[in-house]
Structure formats: structure tokens, C-alpha cells
């Protein structure tokens, strides 16, 4: 009888010994997941051959990551983000039919109960930043407008912070709003041009990025969640293609199709119509939703 069949641990048989203990797992999916993770983890350890001290450093890193989590800070999701795992899970779960808008990471700063606003409203409540007018259509993959689509938008302010990061400094619900399309599928609202900002980098994930020689910045973007009956919900961003970090997003969220055009406008008549003091940014971006089950 081979050593591992007796259940004894050896370096060579480590995977078989550990996974062999899980034969009575109550959940087949859990059993499969643990089989793969054990196999890959042991493979990594065998390739790395960590010293006892290096292994302890890894344990302490994961401990600090857990200790950094609280009601509003999820350092493990941040770790998943900077390792590209969040984008990989997103890609696997959001394979879209041709022509449908692509998804990207949700991020930690969405709030569920933003106010529903009339079309055209200004979501900037702190009067900081460069005025911006954003418009577009919500369409299906055949180009037909979708009525009653609910568009939930949020962005950081001109200093690179979301309202929830600066409670008592920014007005509640600054740079957030929910809009509902009419029969023409059109949406529009006023905001300010977003800026790049760092992901929360004062914890273990920020230290890891520093040690890896990586910066913590995300290129300027606006977040969208777009929902409509009968359609797959789309969680996505639009990005400023001229941002200095557009090719090095700390969380790998940028996709070619999510680059919007930010046009600088000198148009006094439109500026007056929107209540802007002078020149402003103009963005026209359509989103295409896939029908539920459409391939």
C-alpha cells in the first residue's frame, strides 16, 4: 500500500493526501473547488519553496488584510482587485453577445439608495470641478431604444474622493443619481469632469503595491449600473482616454470599448441653457444592453 493511501503526508503525495480527506464532502461544488485550490496552492508552494520566515510573512500579510476589513472597508476585495481576480470573475460572469456594452468592476463606493433625479439634473452638489454634460442612449443589441431603463451613476469629486469617503465634508449623495429613460431611451445629466484617484492604499494592499513598484491610481471614470426589465444588468464605467493612468489602472478595469470621448466645448448658448459659467466638457455615450438569455 502506498504511503498516501495510508493517509500519511509526504512531499510528493501532498495533494492526494489532502484532497483524499474530502471524499465525504457534503457539497460536490465545495469538494471540486477545494480540490483545485489545494492542487494549485501546493504547486505554488513547491515551486516557490518558501522559507519558514517567508511563509510567516504571508500569514501575517493575510492577517493584516483581514484586520483592515470593517463595515465599509473590504481589504480582501481590494486584494482581489489588484491581483486581477475581480476582473477575471467579472469577465467569466459577463460574457456578452456581440454589440452589447462590456462590464467592469463594481468597486466599493456604490450606495444603494441614491436619489432618483429628473433627467438633466446636476449631480455635483459641492460646486467643485469642471462642468460636464453627459448624454446618450440606452439601446438593445438591434439598436432599439430601451424605455424605463434605470441608470445609477456615481463618481469621485474633483479632489478624487467619493462622498462616502468624506462624510461631513462632501454633501450626502454628492455626484450620485438615478435616472430613468423615457420612450426614446435617452439619458442626460450634468456633473463634473472626473479625475484620477488612488484606491485606498493606507493598508496592506497599498503596501504590497508599493513593494511591487506599482502605483495605486485608477484613471478618471464614471460608474454606471444600468437595469431594465428583460435585460441583463450592466455594471460598468466610462473612462477618460486622455488620463495619465489609462494604461495602468491599479485594478485592471479599463477596456477599449469603455473609453468615452470627453470634448471641451466653447458654446455660450448651451452653457447658459445648462447653467454653466463658461466652457464645459461634453460626453455623448450610448450603452447597449443584452436581453436576458441572449447569446
Among ligand BEZ, Fe ion, none, residue 199 binds (CB under 5-8 Å by kind): ligand BEZ
Q: Where are the alpha helices (DSSP H) in the chain?
A: 14-20, 28-48, 52-68, 75-82, 85-93, 204-211, 268-274
Please say whether the beta carbons of 193 and 130 come within 8 A.
yes
Q: Smallest distance, Å, CB 100 to ligand BEZ?
A: 21
Q: Smallest distance, Å, CB 14 to ligand BEZ?
A: 35
216 belongs to the binding site for Fe ion (CB under 5 A): no
| Host H or E run for residue 257 | none
Name the E strands within the chain. 131-140, 150-154, 176-180, 186-192, 197-198, 217-218, 221-227, 234-239, 263-265, 280-284, 287-289
107 belongs to the binding site for Fe ion (CB under 5 A): yes
Nearer CB in complex with Fe ion: 107/204: 107
Nearer CB in complex with Fe ion: 107/216: 107
Among Fe ion, ligand BEZ, none, residue 140 binds (CB under 5-8 Å by kind): none
Among ligand BEZ, Fe ion, none, residue 145 binds (CB under 5-8 Å by kind): none
Rounded to whole angstroms, the Cα distance separating 101 from 286 reads 9
Nearer CB in complex with Fe ion: 107/185: 107
Among ligand BEZ, Fe ion, none, residue 238 binds (CB under 5-8 Å by kind): none
Among Fe ion, ligand BEZ, none, residue 105 binds (CB under 5-8 Å by kind): ligand BEZ
Q: What angle do CA 219, 223, 228 make, to 5 degrees?
A: 150
Rounded to whole angstroms, the Cα distance separating 107 from 224 reads 11
Which residues in this chain contact ligand BEZ in the complex, by CB under 6 A? Answer: 78, 81, 105, 107-109, 199, 218, 251
Binding-site size, Fe ion (CB under 5 A): 1
The residues binding Fe ion (CB under 5 A) are 107
Amino acid at each position: 500500500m502506498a504511503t498516501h493511501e495510508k493517509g500519511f503526508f509526504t512531499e510528493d503525495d501532498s495533494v492526494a493526501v489532502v484532497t483524499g480527506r474530502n471524499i465525504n464532502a457534503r457539497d460536490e461544488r465545495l469538494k471540486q473547488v477545494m480540490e483545485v485550490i489545494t492542487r494549485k496552492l501546493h504547486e505554488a508552494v513547491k515551486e516557490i519553496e518558501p522559507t519558514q520566515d517567508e511563509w510567516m510573512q504571508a500569514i501575517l500579510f493575510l492577517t493584516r488584510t483581514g484586520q483592515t476589513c470593517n463595515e465599509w472597508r473590504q481589504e480582501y476585495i481590494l486584494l482581489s482587485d489588484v491581483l486581477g481576480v475581480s476582473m477575471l470573475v467579472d469577465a467569466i460572469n459577463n460574457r456578452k453577445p456581440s454589440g452589447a456594452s462590456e462590464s467592469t468592476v463594481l468597486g466599493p463606493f456604490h450606495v444603494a439608495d441614491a436619489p432618483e433625479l429628473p433627467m438633466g439634473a446636476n449631480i455635483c452638489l459641492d460646486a467643485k470641478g469642471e462642468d460636464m454634460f453627459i448624454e446618450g442612449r440606452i439601446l438593445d443589441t438591434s439598436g432599439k431604444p430601451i424605455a424605463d431603463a434605470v441608470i445609477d451613476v456615481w463618481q469621485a469629486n474633483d479632489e478624487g474622493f467619493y462622498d462616502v469617503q468624506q462624510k461631513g465634508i462632501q454633501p450626502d449623495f454628492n455626484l450620485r443619481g438615478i435616472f430613468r429613460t423615457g420612450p426614446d431611451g435617452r439619458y442626460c445629466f450634468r456633473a463634473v469632469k472626473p479625475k484620477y484617484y488612488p484606491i485606498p492604499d493606507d493598508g496592506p494592499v497599498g503596501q504590497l503595491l508599493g513593494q511591487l513598484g506599482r502605483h495605486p491610481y485608477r484613471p478618471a471614470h464614471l460608474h454606471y449600473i444600468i437595469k431594465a426589465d428583460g435585460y441583463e444588468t450592466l455594471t460598468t464605467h466610462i473612462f477618460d482616454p486622455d488620463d495619465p493612468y489609462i494604461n495602468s489602472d491599479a485594478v485592471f478595469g479599463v477596456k477599449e470599448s469603455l473609453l468615452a470621448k470627453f470634448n471641451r466645448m466653447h458654446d455660450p448658448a448651451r452653457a447658459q441653457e445648462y447653467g454653466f459659467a463658461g466652457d464645459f466638457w461634453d460626453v455623448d455615450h450610448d450603452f447597449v444592453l443584452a436581453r436576458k438569455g441572449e447569446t
